[in-house]
Each structure stands twice: as C-alpha cells, then as structure tokens.
Amino acid sequence: MSTINPVAQRFESELAELATLVDSDRPGWTRRALSEFDIAGRDYALTLMKHAGLATRVDGAGNVIGVLPGRLGGREIMLGSHTDTVDGGGRFDGITGVLGAIEVVRLLRENDVRLDHDLVVVVFFNEEPNDFGFFCVGSRAMTGLVDRTTLTATDTDGRSLAEALPDSGIDPEAFLDARYDFSKVTAFLELHIEQGPELERMGKQIGVVETITGINHFKALFTGRQDHAGTTPMDVRADAGCAAAGTVLAVESIAESGTNTRGTSGQIQFTPEAVNVVSANASVEGEFRGPDGSWLQEAQRRLTDAASQNADKRGVHVEMEWTTDDAPVPLHEPITSTIAEVATDLGHTRATMFSGAGHDAGIIAAKTQVGMIFVPSRDGRSHCPEEFTELADILPGIEVLLQTVLRLDGV
C-alpha cells in the first residue's frame, strides 16, 4: 500500500469538536474522568468509531471498544489511548492516539485493505489520576489489576469509587469483571504526543519508545497541633505544615540525585487554611518517576525517612502511604524495531526514547507485545493549556501507525 496522507481536515475538525467537550469553568481544556464532560468525550469517540465502520461496545469498566473484523479472525491488533485530561490540561494528550487510531480504520476501509487480524480500537476509561488515587483505571480493569480495594478507595469527601462509578454509567460489579482476553492480541500500539522537549530539541519527527517510566505515588498525612500564630513560641509548636513543606523539598532533592528521574509534590493541603493559625494537619501527595526500578525503591525509602525526620523534629505524627508502585516498562521487540523501520521507510526522521509520561500502553504491556509512537510537543509542554502539536507533525505519526499495523498484520 502506498503512503496515504490521512485526511487532515477530518482529524482537525474532530480535535476541535473534542476540545468543546470540556468543563468551561476550569482553565485550559479540562475533561476529567468521572465527569459529565468525560462521558461526552467518550460518547463522541464512540460515534466516530461507529461512523468509521467499527462494531462498538462499552465494556464493564467504561472502556469504549470498536472492532474491524479481519479476514482470518481469531487474532487481533489493538490500538488505543484516552480522552480524559488533567485539570487545566491540553487538547492533544491521549486524544491524538484515539483520533489517530480511528483514522487508521478509515484509511484501511477507504483503500479496501482487509487485514488478516481483527483491528481493535480502545478508548481507555480514566487514564489520568482521579480523585481516588488511581490512574490508568480502564486499562487496569482490562488487565485484571483492579479488585474490591480499588472500589473502596475514597476521595477527599469520603466518597468511594464504588459510589462514584455509577454516575459514569459503570456498574461496580461489572467494573471488576472487565478483564479482556489478551491471548488473541498480537500487539498493542499507542500513538501519543511526547509531552516533553526531546523530539523538538533533536529535530526528529517520530519517537520510538523503548521504556515507559516507573511511577511511585505517595500520600503523606501529617498531624500536629493547632495553635495561635502570634502567641505560640516557635520551640513549642507542632507545626504540621512545616513538616509537610520539608518533605516537599526532600522530594525535589531526592529526584535531583538520579538520571532521568523526576519528583513532584503536585498536591499539598494545610488544615485549617488560616494565616494566623499553626496548622494542625497537612497532606502531601506526589510521585517519583524514572527508568530504573531500584532507584525508585531507594527514593521511596529515602522519602519515607525524610518525612519521619521532618515530623519527629517538630513533634508531628506522619502516616506515609505509597498508593502506586508501577515499575518501569521496557517495550517489546520486534514491535519497536518495526516502528523504527516503518518510520525510516516512510522517510521520517526518528529517535528512540524514554517516556517520562505514564501511559495505558505501560499497563497493557503486561499482557501483550506493546509499541508506542511519539510525535513532538511544541516547547515540550503538556498537562497545560500551552500543550500543542502541529497537525503537520501528527500526520507522520498516523502514517507510521497505519504502516506498522500493516507490517505486523503481514507477520
């Protein structure tokens, strides 16, 4: 099959339509999982999949699944990504891979190409961290990584995930029963924006992902003593807020000690929030990331120590919980080399890469061979309104996705 340039204006108009299905009270493009906007986003993707000729269904975990039957049946190639965003996010994270996968289906059908494999497109439910401490929820449900403890997790209002799921049309019992039969899946491919500066810095068009970062999420709860800010001498305080602040700085200094390692304290809360009150309680939620699992374990140990030291020296109590412990995920040969060969055969420049971002691909990798294709992010920005990728930079990614599907189908 010759190189077919996907219909750019279709992609652009669908990207624009999805960009309207957001919470306009929030900055950027916000379509958080478990919101009415997320339902609208997945419904829109379902409509596009139907119009593209896919046989569609929504599984017990809210994943939208479309199938284009192949000639032989019995074997599958799976494509997919997500439509939910972070708060104040952008228009391209996840969405590029969803629209790109649907575009591949259209191009195959418009050119009367019938694969041997069934082609399965998945819009994964809830890829971004939700208010219950989980991310990649849909892909974890498909791979059997959720259980009743997942359902009992609560948000800051004390509401459980089991109580929240039905608002998104998800029955908690069906959620637990949403395992997918990956024994038929030859490979899973995810097209995604890089969300970092490397491709732009190197002047390359296609990123061939070799490893997806490990991610360790933590939640630290500090309990001190509420006091008057003016009358309480410094040496008698039990200031939960200062213990938390010291721990935040420890996250930063530990992460600065590694290679390609990251440490972020994305959520911090003082209670009460009063300028003239020594805080009784404080919470810090954050994460470490990196390509080396042993570094991540060491970082976890060092931060647990640092949180205890910051608490002990102030007479504050600390509870440290590690809510996610995802090891780095090496992606699979011959999928990655097939992506690289396809990019070169299509005349696109390419680079092999480490992904500092987590992806559903990292979860699916436990069940089948996985490859990821990156396209550049302008100024390396993502998870912010400035997130942007030129359409001219997305099209090569869709072409590589299409041609990789054809090559894997022919294996």
Q: Which residue positions form the known binding site for Zn(2+)?
A: 82, 93, 128, 192, 383
The one among 127, 239, 393, 409 contacting ligand HGY by CB under 6 A: 127
H or E element, residue 338: helix 335-345
CB of 162 to Mn ion, least distance (A): 25
Residue 98 touches ligand HGY, criterion: CB under 6 A: no
Residue 198 touches ligand HGY, criterion: CB under 6 A: no
Tell me whether residue 348 or residue 378 sits nearer to ligand HGY (CB atom): 378
Tell me whether residue 226 or residue 323 sits nearer to Mn ion (CB atom): 323
Under 8 Å between Cβ of 405 and 79: yes
Residue 138 touches ligand HGY, criterion: CB under 6 A: no
Q: Residue 140 binds which entry of ligand HGY, Mn ion, none, with Cβ cut-offs from 5 to 8 Å by kind?
A: none
Q: Residue 358 binds which entry of Mn ion, ligand HGY, none, with Cβ cut-offs from 5 to 8 Å by kind?
A: ligand HGY
Four-CA torsion 104, 106, 109, 114, nearest 10 degrees? 20
Q: How many residues bind ligand HGY (CB under 6 A)?
A: 6
Q: CA-CA distance, 243 to 318, in Å (whole number)?
A: 9
CB of 128 to ligand HGY, least distance (A): 5
Residue 360 touches ligand HGY, criterion: CB under 6 A: no
Under 8 Å between Cβ of 372 and 311: no
Of the candidates 43, 120, 165, 204, which has an alpha carbon nearest to the alpha carbon of residue 408?
Answer: 120
Q: Is 78 helix (H, G, I), strand (E, B) or coil?
A: strand
Residue in the block written with tokens 């800010």: 229
Q: How many residues bind Mn ion (CB under 5 A)?
A: 4
- Phi/psi of residue 206, each to 5°? -125, 130
Q: Which stretch binds ligand HGY (CB under 6 A): 109-117, 127-135, 293-301, 367-375?
A: 127-135
- Residue numbers 61-100 binding Mn ion by CB under 5 A: 93-94
The one among 351, 357, 365, 372 contacting ligand HGY by CB under 6 A: 357
DSSP string over 261-326: -EEEEEEEEEES--TTEE-SEEEEEEEEEES-HHHHHHHHHHHHHHHHHHHHTTT-EEEEEEEEEE
Q: Residue 270 binds which entry of ligand HGY, Mn ion, none, with Cβ cut-offs from 5 to 8 Å by kind?
A: none
Residue 371 touches Mn ion, criterion: CB under 5 A: no
The one among 250, 359, 367, 405 contacting Mn ion by CB under 5 A: 359
Q: Where are the alpha helices (DSSP H) in 82-165?
A: 95-110, 137-142, 148-152, 161-164
Residue 28 touches Mn ion, criterion: CB under 5 A: no
Q: CA-CA distance, 214 to 288, in Å (whole number)?
A: 8
Tell me whether residue 11 or residue 135 sits nearer to ligand HGY (CB atom): 135
Q: Where are the alpha helices (DSSP H) in 34-160?
A: 36-51, 95-110, 137-142, 148-152
Tell me whether residue 164 or residue 357 sits nearer to ligand HGY (CB atom): 357
C-beta nearest to Mn ion: residue: 359
Which residues are documented as binding site? Answer: 82, 93, 128, 192, 383
The one among 196, 358, 362, 397 contacting ligand HGY by CB under 6 A: 358
Q: Any residues with CB less than 8 A from the CB of 305 and at least 6 apart, and which?
A: none
Copy the structure tokens of residue 49.
Answer: 């999949």
| Cα-Cα end-to-end distance for the chain | 16
Residue 285 touches ligand HGY, criterion: CB under 6 A: no
Tell me whether residue 14 or residue 127 sits nearer to Mn ion (CB atom): 127
Residue 400 touches ligand HGY, criterion: CB under 6 A: no
Q: CA-CA distance, 326 to 346, in Å (whole number)?
A: 34
Tell me whether residue 95 or residue 342 sits nearer to ligand HGY (CB atom): 95
Tell me whether residue 369 or residue 382 sits nearer to ligand HGY (CB atom): 382
Under 8 Å between Cβ of 113 and 124: no
Residue 31 touches Mn ion, criterion: CB under 5 A: no
Q: Is 77 helix (H, G, I), strand (E, B) or coil?
A: strand
Tell me whether residue 135 or residue 218 sits nearer to ligand HGY (CB atom): 135
**Which residues contact Mn ion by CB under 5 A?**
93-94, 359-360
**Which residues contact ligand HGY by CB under 6 A?**
93, 127-128, 135, 357-358
